[in-house]
């Protein structure tokens, strides 16, 4: 398929998991993809996979929570590829603890990576998208946005991302820029595997138990989210903006 032929995309946190699946999908759709991860090295596996499949990609090392690094990353992509059409804010971390144990650092790290990181990338990217009078931004929220035990930091960041999405859709719509969010449920990635391991639980068992509570009776795979992002950044989604699409097998 080549529905994104000629488009340039940035996917943050795409060295692994949902971001990697999204970067590969957008490349398969024809986009040139900047694989942004903490270091160029951590982005390199995804870049290699895209190139081996015949796509075009570059590795960009960038901590999304650092304004200067974000500005450099976006400038580098535009100088390399000449434009910027798509931004997918996906990078994420967890620091789960009950409130009485949650440190200021736990709070800041999660809010900085998810919410501030998305704000910084949106700000840096919109400059080029406004000039072009076109662009697509997808932020990554979560079913956890409504609140989850041990995740005061994460839930606040993910709820904030829905507000950021709605607000930027209102501000940027007049410039032909659509801003939406995906809200995944339980997706099998390193993030969910590490969470299980931290609790001393067997991941396969956690997966099985979780599946029983999900209407579609299975946990999600990274490609389930990538499919929806691919739709949201395509012309098929031209008249959708400000929405948060749940990709959760029916879980809320
Ligand atoms: P993952 O496998 O842990 O991948 C997250 C990626 O983000 C990693 O490549 C990580 O790099 C990168 N990253 C972390 N901090 C970064 C930073 N400061 N700057 C740049 N990159 C950074 O997680 P995932 O499950 O794919 O999650 C992707 C997104 O989906 C996150 O926003 C997450 O909150 C959201 N989500 C996931 C689930 C789920 O069940 N998995 C559910 C709802 C929402 P390193 O590996 O090099 O540290």
161 pLDDT tier (thresholds 50, 70, 90): very high
* The pLDDT of residue 183: 98
**Residue 205 covered by a domain:** no
SS3 per residue for 161-217: HHHHHHHHHHHHHHHCEEEEEEEECCECCHHHHHHHHHCCCCHHHHHHHHHHHCCCC
Q: Which domain holds residue 226?
A: 8-186+221-247
Average pLDDT, the chain: 98
* The pLDDT of residue 1: 66
- How confident is the model over 44-65, as a mean pLDDT? 98
pLDDT (tens digit per residue) in 120-143: 999 999 999 999 999 999 999 999
Q: For the domain that residue 180 is a member of, what is the CATH number? A: 3.40.50.720
**Residue 26 covered by a domain:** yes
What's the gap in Å between 233 CA and the centre of ligand 1? 20
**Residue 78 covered by a domain:** yes
Query: What is the total count of domains within the chain?
Result: 1
**Residue 18 covered by a domain:** yes
Query: Residues 43, 59: contact at Cβ < 8 Å?
Result: yes
- How confident is the model over 241-251, as a mean pLDDT? 98
Query: Residues 43, 14: contact at Cβ < 8 Å?
Result: yes
Closest by CA position to 152, among listed 190, 103, 201, 199: 103
54 pLDDT tier (thresholds 50, 70, 90): very high
What's the gap in Å between 177 CA and the centre of ligand 1? 25
17 pLDDT tier (thresholds 50, 70, 90): very high
As annotated, the active-site residues are: 154
Q: Using CA atoms, how far apart are residues 31 and 9, in angstroms rounded to an integer? A: 6
**Residue 194 covered by a domain:** no
Across 1-5, 70-74, 221-225, least confident range: 1-5
Closest-lying ligand 1 atom to the alpha carbon of residue 184: 43
**Residue 175 covered by a domain:** yes
Helix orientation angle between 222-232 and 17-28, rounded to the nearest 10 degrees: 50
* The pLDDT of residue 39: 98
**Residue 121 covered by a domain:** yes
Residue ranges around ligand 1 (CB below 6 Å): 12-13, 15-19, 37-38, 42, 63-65, 90-93, 113-114, 140, 142, 184, 186-187, 189-192
Q: What is the pTM of this model?
A: 0.98
* The pLDDT of residue 238: 97
**Residue 144 covered by a domain:** yes
């Amino acid at each position: 398929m080549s529905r994104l032929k000629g488009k340039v995309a940035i996917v943050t946190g795409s060295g692994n998991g949902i971001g990697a699946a999204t970067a590969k999908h957008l490349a398969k759709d024809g986009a040139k993809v900047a694989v942004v991860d903490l270091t160029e090295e951590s982005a390199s596996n995804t870049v290699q996979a895209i190139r081996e499949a015949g796509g075009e990609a570059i590795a960009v090392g960038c901590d999304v929570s650092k304004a200067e690094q974000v500005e450099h990353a976006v400038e580098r992509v535009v100088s390399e590829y000449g434009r910027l059409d798509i931004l997918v804010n996906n990078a994420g971390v967890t620091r789960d603890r009950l409130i009485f144990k949650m440190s200021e650092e736990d709070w800041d790290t999660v809010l900085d990576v998810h919410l501030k990181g998305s704000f910084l990338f949106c700000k840096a990217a919109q400059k080029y998208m406004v000039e072009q009078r076109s662009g697509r931004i997808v932020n990554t929220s979560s079913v956890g946005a409504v609140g989850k035990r041990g995740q005061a930091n994460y839930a606040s960041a993910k709820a904030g991302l829905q507000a950021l999405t709605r607000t930027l859709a209102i501000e940027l719509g007049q410039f032909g820029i659509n801003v939406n969010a995906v809200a995944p449920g339980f997706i099998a990635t390193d993030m969910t595997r590490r969470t299980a391991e931290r609790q001393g639980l067997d991941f396969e068992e956690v997966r099985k138990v979780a599946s029983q509570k999900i209407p579609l009776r299975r946990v999600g795979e990274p490609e389930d989210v990538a499919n929806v992002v691919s739709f949201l950044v395509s012309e098929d989604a031209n008249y959708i903006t400000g929405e948060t699409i749940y990709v959760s097998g029916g879980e809320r």
